[in-house]
Amino acid sequence: MTWEIAIVLLLVVLTLVQFIRERWPTDLTGVAAFAVLLLLSLIPGENSFPSASQLFKVFANAAPLTVAAMFVLTYALERTGAIGRILAALENMDSLGTRSLLLLMMLGTAAVSAFINNTPVVVVGLPVAMHFAKRAKASASIFLIPLSYAAVFGGCCTLVGTSTNILVSGLLSANGHPPLGMFEIGAVGLPAALIGIAYVTWFAPKLLPSRRTLAQDIEEGGISEYVVEAIVQENSPVVGKNLEEAGLGPRSGMRVIEVTRGGGASYESLGTLRLRVGDRLVVAGAPAAVAAILAMEGVNLQAERGGSAEMISTHEGHLAEAIVSPLSDLNGRSLRDLNFRQRFGLVVLAIHRRGINLSRGFENAPLQPGDTLLVLGVESSIDQLRRSSDILLLDRPRIPTTAQRASTGLVLGTLAAVILTATLEWVPIEVGSLVACVFLMITGVIKPRQAYRSIDWSLMFLIFGTLGLGMAMESTGAARFIAENLTSAATAFVAEAWKPMVLLAMVYIITMVATEMLSNNATVVLMMPIALGLAMHLGLDARPFAIATTLASSAAFSTPIGYQTNTYVYSAGGYCFTDFLRLGVPLNLLYFIVAVVIIPLVWPLHP
């Protein structure tokens, strides 16, 4: 081992640790690793680190640019409501049981996500899954993890199904191998998807417990306490009464924390205070108790604390669940910073994040993608939220405008043209996707600013940073060093004839384990040099190893953090971490078996 290899391996380990600990955003970690490599390239004398000019070539890599273009095309399709209408068409099926509805939902989701980025498919599909759960009289938790898994199944069937497939195709081209064909990975992805759908359809109702959603927690008292602010209206029956007489005393299960009167806090004892018109009450209590306030005549919730006179009439209020969109402008900003009540005319009662209900102290917490909000408001405000692309209602799909719906045919035709020309190899996928984006902007389907916003720039910089690490692993010999040691380890335990198969299985397993803890894109970029190095060291064809890496990097079923869609349903479904382990670990094993059996048959190991 040379000192350059040691430094690169140390940098890779530190990067992986930082990815797992999440003390920095993943894109910052990737860029930091890239910056360190730039500094190492300046070391005087002979060394094998890539030069700065070589490192900057990663920004000209076609694969990340293709990923960005597919984000734009997917956004255009989602904006027209096409994804929602495709999935909503499944809702018209009647007289089906739980497993039949699961099968129908998963087949439809997998088919759509084979050609569209799977994250928006899951986000848009959440209301459909909720609808299916209600129709089957089952918990939403029986449907939401299968929804995420189905999106992953479909993404493993085509080149454009997920960004990792596009990255592998680009890395193959960069190393002198033919890029992936549009449906090439489907030779193993499709059988794996069908087996996975059959497994989940049968075992999800058995292995997934009935987890309550956030709205059910509120209705059934699952959250211990939350706080609302109300105002006493004119002619209210509670005027002139003390808190006990008004039904707001300790026996009701509520606590009146503060009464504001005349612009300032009232210093009168809460035990003797008589309510007046205009009194503002800050009330805390269990949901079942505070729900009584919603039926009190002449007591309304305040829409914006200390500001607007706009009120939400509590007896007309409706509860709804909504999820923060992955590309929302609200991400990173708190409810207080956003003036959420004034902006949307809705009161947030609680936030559900990664299996935890934040019922108190969440007003100052920065919102994150996938946060599930329980909101209360009048029906008109909730209906208005249906048109928002920042927050998506879980019980009903977003409604596009008439102009947006009119563009559906044009967007579908454009996406079909990209897929067709890439399949027939008339135009490279990177060229076709970029031209399609420009076409949609010129025709006014989407505006340039919307196109730029639709791109997940944090993912872009994560990819560029890890591409730099991959380049350093190749140029310093670190990838070859790892490949040689893996080969030696395999040689010590297996016969020479079985060595290629065992190493293929090892590549799959290492990638599968890594992607459960890391970003799938970071995993595939770091594993590809090792996979290609193994093939070169053994004199084998590189393609089966690349295919195994591709499939394993997306097959993240055992943790809610292994894949972004898992994180979304984790919040929305009220899941525990072990729910994913229970259903996902056997599914990972099934995918592994399918991979090691089919890959050598379709892509022979020996050239």
- The Cα–Cα gap between 129 and 135 comes to 10
Instruction: Report the alpha-carbon distance of residue 347 to residue 330 in Å, rounded.
Output: 16
**Euclidean distance between CA atoms 462 and 450, whole angstroms:** 21
Which distant-in-sequence residues (6+ apart) come within 8 Å of 333 by Cβ?
366, 367
- Residue 525, pLDDT > 50, answer yes
Q: Does 304 score more than 50 pLDDT?
A: no
For residues 305 and 303, give the distance between their C-alpha atoms in angstroms, rounded to a whole number.
7
How many residues can be counted in the chain?
A: 607
CA distance 509 to 503: 10
| Rounded-to-integer distance, Cα 536 and Cα 145, Å | 39
SS3 call for 184 = coil
Token pair in block for residue 324: 């923060």
- 226-261 confidence digits (pLDDT tens): 556 778 888 888 888 888 888 777 666 677 777 878
Q: Please give the model's pTM, rounded to 2 decimal places.
A: 0.77
Structure tokens given for 344 = 């949307």
Q: Is the pLDDT of residue 266 over 70?
A: no
Contact between 371 and 333 under an 8 Å Cβ cutoff? The reply is no
Q: Is 402 exposed, middle or buried (0-12, 13-18, 19+ CB in 10 A)?
A: exposed
DSSP H helical ranges for 448-541: 448-454, 457-476, 478-491, 499-515, 520-538
Domains in the chain (CATH in brackets) are 3-49+461-602 (no CATH), 64-214+410-454 (no CATH), 215-393 (3.30.70.1450)
CA atoms within 13 A on the CB side of 394: 27
Provide the token pair at 128. 């459909």
pLDDT, one tens digit per residue, over 36-94 is: 999 988 888 778 888 888 889 888 888 889 999 988 998 888 777 777 666 666 666 65
Regarding predicted confidence, which is higher, 136 or 396? 136
Q: Kindly list the distances between the CA atom of residue 108 and the CA atoms of 174, 272, 441, 443, in Å, as whole numbers in the listed order.
A: 35, 62, 29, 30
Looking at residue 277, what DSSP letter applies? T
In angstroms, the Cα distances linking 42 to 51, 320, 479, 529 are 8, 56, 22, 23
Q: Which of 47-51, 129-133, 209-213 has the lowest mean pLDDT?
A: 209-213
What is the pLDDT of the chain when averaged over all its residues?
81
What is the predicted pLDDT for the residue at 106?
Answer: 93
Half-sphere exposure (Cβ direction) of 483: Cα atoms closer than 13 Å: 25
Share of the chain above pLDDT 90, in %: 29
Average pLDDT estimate for 568-590: 86
Tokens of 503: 């190493």
pLDDT value of position 582: 92
Helix, coil or strand: residue 392: strand
Angle between helices 478-491 and 520-538 in degrees, nearest 10: 70
pLDDT of 289: 58
State whether residue 473 is helix, strand or coil. Answer: helix
- Mean local confidence (pLDDT), 264-281: 76
- As a whole number of angstroms, the distance between CA 404 and CA 169 comes to 33
CA distance 332 to 52: 33
Please name which of 516, 520, 592, 590 lies closest in space to residue 559, comparing C-alpha atoms.
Answer: 516
- pLDDT the model gives residue 313: 42
Cα–Cα distance between 522 and 563 in angstroms, integer? 12
Element containing residue 72 per DSSP (H, E): helix 62-79
Whether 222 has a pLDDT exceeding 50, the answer reads no
SS3 content of the chain, % helix, strand, coil (to 5): 60, 10, 30
CA atoms of 585 and 509, how far apart (whole Å): 12
Lookup: tokens for 201 = 């359809």
Helix axes 478-491, 499-515, angle to 10 degrees: 120
Measured in whole angstroms, how far is the alpha carbon of residue 60 from the centre of its chain? 27
pLDDT at 228: 64
Q: Minimal CA–CA distance to 450: which of 66, 67, 72, 65?
A: 72
pLDDT per residue as tens digits for the range 431-442: 999 999 999 999
CA atoms lying within 13 Å on the CB side of residue 306: 4
Q: pLDDT tens for residues 93-115?
A: 656 788 888 998 999 899 989 98
Would you state the structure tokens that stand for residue 137, as one six-digit string? 């009289």
Inform me whether the pLDDT recorded for 358 exceeds 70: no
> Quick check: 306 pLDDT over 80?
no
Residues 6+ apart with CB under 8 A from 461: 27, 30, 31
Q: Which pLDDT score is estimated for 310?
A: 39
CA angle 263/375/296 to nearest 5° reads 60
